Chains A and B, each alone.
Chain A
Amino acid sequence: MIKEVNDKNFDEEIGNSENIVVVDFWAPWCGPCRMLSPVIEELAKEMGKEVKFAKVNVDENPMISSKYRIASIPTVMVFSKDTVKDTMVGFRPKADIKKIIERHL
Chain B
Amino acid sequence: MSERYDIAIIGTGPAGLEAAINAKIRNKNIVIFGNKDLSPKLAKAAKVNNYLGLYNLTGTELKNKFADHIEDMGVEIVNEKINNVYAMGDYFSLMVNEKVYEAKAIILATGIEYTKPLIGEEEFLGKGVGYCATCDAPLYKGKTVVIVGYNKESVEEANYVSELSGKTYYIPMYKGEYNLNENVEIINNKPLKIVGDDVVTKMILDQGEIATDGIFMLRDSVSPSQLVPGIEIENGHIKVDRDMKTNIDGCYAAGDCTGTPYQYMKSAGEGLVAALSAVSYVDKLHENK
Query: Interface on A for B, CB 8 Å cutoff?
Result: 27, 29-32, 35-36, 38-39, 42, 58-59, 65, 69-73, 75, 87, 89-96
Are B139 and A72 in contact (CB-based, < 8 A)?
yes
Are B132 and A91 in contact (CB-based, < 8 A)?
no
16 residue pairs A–B, Cβ–Cβ below 8 Å: A29-B134, A30-B135, A35-B88, A58-B139, A65-B139, A69-B127, A69-B198, A72-B130, A72-B136, A73-B135, A89-B127, A90-B229, A91-B86, A91-B229, A91-B230, A95-B248
Q: Which residue of B lies closest to A94 (CB)?
A: B89
Annotate B211-234 by CB proximity to A: 1 below 8 A, 0 otherwise.
Answer: 000100000000000000110000
Are A73 and B230 in contact (CB-based, < 8 A)?
no
Interface size on B, residues (CB 8 A): 25
**What A residues does B130 contact at CB under 8 A?**
71-72
Are A89 and B125 in contact (CB-based, < 8 A)?
yes
Are A91 and B127 in contact (CB-based, < 8 A)?
no
Query: Interface on B for A, CB 8 Å cutoff?
Result: 84, 86-89, 93, 95, 125-128, 130, 132, 134-136, 138-139, 198-199, 214, 229-230, 248-249
Are B88 and A38 in contact (CB-based, < 8 A)?
yes
Complex CA gap A38/B100 in Å reads: 15
Q: Which residue of B lies closest to A75 (CB)?
A: B126
* A58-B139, A93-B248 known; A32+B87 contact, CB < 8 A: no
Are B229 and A70 in contact (CB-based, < 8 A)?
no
* A89-B126, A92-B230 known; A71+B84 contact, CB < 8 A: no
Q: Which residue of A lies closest to B230 (CB)?
A: A93
